[in-house]
Chain A
Amino acid sequence: MSQALKSIIRRELKRIFTDRRMVITLFLIPALSIGVIYSVMGYLSMNFIKDVEAHVSSYVISDAPDSFKTFLAQNAELTEGVEVTYVSGETVDTYAPLIKEGSLDMFARFNDDFDSRIESVESASVYTYYNYGEDYSEASFHHFVNDMLDTYRNGILADRFENPNAIKVFDVEDLSETAETVNEDKASGKILSTIIPMLISIFLFAGAMSVVMDSIAGEKERGTLATLLVTPVKREAIAIGKMISHAIIATLSALSSIAGMLLTLGILMLLMPNEVSIGVSFGYSALDILYLIGLIVMLVGIYVGIISLLSAVSKNVKEAGTYMTPVYMLIMVVSFLNMYAFNAEPLWKYAIPIYGQIVGLKEIFMYQITPIKFFVALANAAVTWTVLVLWIRNLFNNEKVIFTSS
């Protein structure tokens, strides 16, 4: 590495690491904001679930037949956390205002002669009323219909046919666990492969964006880039020096975001009830980790190159920002594209810049990546990076780009 290249890299890194504002924006804010926002969101949603579960639901059931009352009395687990009040001859009119204001969760009314209709195999109905704008009320309704009435109906059917198998027709039992057909790692990998490549891609781009825009468009705006261009250093050395240092910073910034995610995960695991587990196991080899690092480096190189190019043609940071928004959206779309594709991808997809690297990241988690696929991605990254570096070098040689004001 030439002395000039080393000096440029050192200076760019020093520029960032000695600037308190940049350190906070690039490394602390992503970790903290992601950590705090997701932790608070997770905490609130967990509280919400706990709250709904802890709530004692109140039902008023009119004209409940004796068979239903007996059924409920015999199945105490169905009335856990539920307070049932039986009334007779009432209609919803009396209870609708209570449901609406939230002091009652649900009202149900059985046909007058429900038991005798069931006995004579005539049609019978249960009328339900709840407030679907109210979470407690909605949860009560689902519990009443799906748990209570369903079990009650099956009991009646079983009595009617005498043989329970007559109504069940057949059982479906999942014996995957006992037969060991499940690849735990792959199952976990599937979860990771859906989210992680997308997040890595987006975090890398976001991390690169602010630093590159400031270093190229900002330096143009401040007139410091021209000072650099009047030295005997080759334009490509300036372009490569800046790109390498920005890639390092963008990777560290993305790592900060990932650390924020892990922090969130840690906090949520502490808050979660014991019976809930994340259900993720890892079985990645050292080679997989190398592939991961390699693909991140490729991706960050391409992103830094694209942002550098756009920053070089912009007159100032503001103009660079306007070019960046559509590109950022495009990167997001590409990152989302293969979120739900779980089959092994064909080799040619690895030859597409950015998409190839994201597919690679995904296939690492799915245990589907092969050396040849990795090298195709590497070749595409090398070609893309060379094109971007040469392009930026030409821009740095272009007087219209250096002196935008003239």
Chain B
Amino acid sequence: MIEVSGLKKSYKLSKRQLAMIADRQARQKVKIAVSDLSFTVRPGTIFGLLGPNGAGKTTTLRCISTLLKPTDGKVLVMGIDAEESPEKVRASIAFLTNDLKLDKHFTPLDTLRFFADLHRVPKALAEERADVLFEYFDITPFKDKKIGELSQGMMQKVAIAVSLIHDPPVVIFDEPTNGLDIITARKVTDYLKMLRDQGKTIIISTHIMTVAEKLCDEIAVILNGSLAAAGTVASLLEQTGQKDLDDAFFEIYRAENGGVS
């Protein structure tokens, strides 16, 4: 279970960052990335954060995974306060984002073993899980090659396997299918569905409507750091009177930006 209530995250911009904003009048020292965001992700569901680039999706996921401290509001993961006990929260999540990379010097097997150690997974169990994950994501033939020698898609699959080695109850994936070919992307979404069926709490961010439509049980549309709409795909279609999520999203976007699309 993930409970986010009144989440706010703002940054003070440095002089250099301010100088990079072309419009002088738009220059403000504090940038609000996320403002008053609340939602709940229940076990056994896949929750999607949908929004354009810069909407605040990644910031929200980083706050849940304790890498960022919220400016205001509360984040509870499996009932644990993310600010009070960040280590406990990190023990119960799998976090995958493009910013987190694996050391290219090591092999997938080395890397999995190392992260299993850090998550205190017993050795025999870690080996067993590594085998299953490698087999599922077709990594087995490459498990002893250096990560630096693998293709981008294979690296992404290794990163997914690494994030799941401790079999956590909560899975947080930021743009999980980004940069993957259609077959690999399908493997990843199928795996997420399987994890959902196992009762895990899953939250993903995406700007790809088809991924959200096919994968997510519930969706939160985030625009400019705020929650613009939330609900199941069906309820969003009903709210906006559209036939597919793509059009529904644009309807929400138009309404939020005063009719400008």
Contacts and interface: CB of A to CB of B under 8 A. Distances in A.
Interface of A: 3-4, 7-8, 11, 14-15, 18-19, 219, 222-224, 226-234, 399, 402-403, 405-406
B103 A15 contact: yes
B101 interface: yes
B118 A222 contact: no
B120 interface: yes
B103 A230 contact: no
Given A19-B105, A219-B103, A232-B88, 11 more contacts: A4-B118, A11-B106, A15-B103, A223-B100, A227-B101, A232-B90, A232-B91, A232-B120, A399-B67, A403-B62, A406-B11
B117 A7 contact: yes
Given A229-B67, A230-B90, A223 B99 contact: yes
B187 interface: no
Contacts of A228: 118
B67 A223 contact: no
Interface string B159-201: 0001000000000000000000000000000000000000000
28 contacts: A4-B117, A7-B117, A7-B118, A11-B106, A14-B106, A15-B103, A15-B105, A222-B101, A222-B104, A224-B100, A224-B102, A224-B103, A226-B67, A226-B99, A226-B100, A226-B101, A227-B100, A227-B162, A229-B67, A230-B90, A230-B100, A231-B119, A232-B90, A232-B119, A232-B120, A399-B62, A399-B67, A405-B99
B256 interface: no
B95 interface: yes
A399 B9 CA distance: 12
Contacts of A226: 67, 99-101
A394 to B, nearest CB: 13
A18 B65 CA distance: 32
B103 A222 contact: yes
B129 interface: no
B117 A3 contact: yes
A403 B69 CA distance: 12
Nearest to A18: B105
B87 interface: yes
Interface in B74-119: 87-88, 90-91, 95, 99-106, 110, 114-115, 117-119
B19 interface: no
B208 interface: no
Nearest to A221: B101
Nearest to B9: A399
B68 interface: yes
B67 A230 contact: yes
A234 B67 contact: no
B103 A232 contact: no
A3 B100 contact: no
A233 B68 CA distance: 16
B87 A234 contact: yes
A282 to B, nearest CB: 42
Nearest to B91: A232
B67 A402 contact: yes
B87 A232 contact: yes
Q: Which 4 A-B pairs have the closest CB atoms?
A: A223-B101, A232-B91, A7-B117, A227-B100
A326 B100 CA distance: 32
A223 B110 CA distance: 18
A361 B190 CA distance: 63
A19 B105 CA distance: 8
A233 B118 CA distance: 6
| From A229, A231, A233, A405, residue with most partner B Cβ within 10 Å | A231
Contacts of A402: 67
A4 B117 CA distance: 6
Nearest to A16: B105
Contacts of A406: 11
A8 B114 CA distance: 8
A221 to B, nearest CB: 10
Given A18-B105, A223-B101, A232 B69 contact: no
Contacts of A232: 87-88, 90-91, 118-120
Interface string B203-224: 0000000000000000000000
A281 B77 CA distance: 67
Contacts of A7: 114, 117-118
Nearest to A398: B69
Contacts of B67: 226, 229-230, 399, 402-403
Nearest to A405: B99
Contacts of A11: 106, 114
Contacts of A227: 100-102, 162
Nearest to B95: A230
B170 to A, nearest CB: 12
Contacts of A405: 99
Given A226-B100, A232-B91, A3 B69 contact: no
Nearest to A8: B118
A399 B100 contact: no
Interface in B49-86: 62, 65-69
B86 to A, nearest CB: 8
| From A3, A11, A402, residue with most partner B Cβ within 10 Å | A11
A15 B105 CA distance: 7
A231 B101 contact: no
A405 B16 CA distance: 12
Contacts of B120: 3-4, 232
Contacts of A18: 105
A238 B259 CA distance: 50
Nearest to A399: B68
Nearest to B66: A230
B87 A399 contact: no
Contacts of B119: 231-232
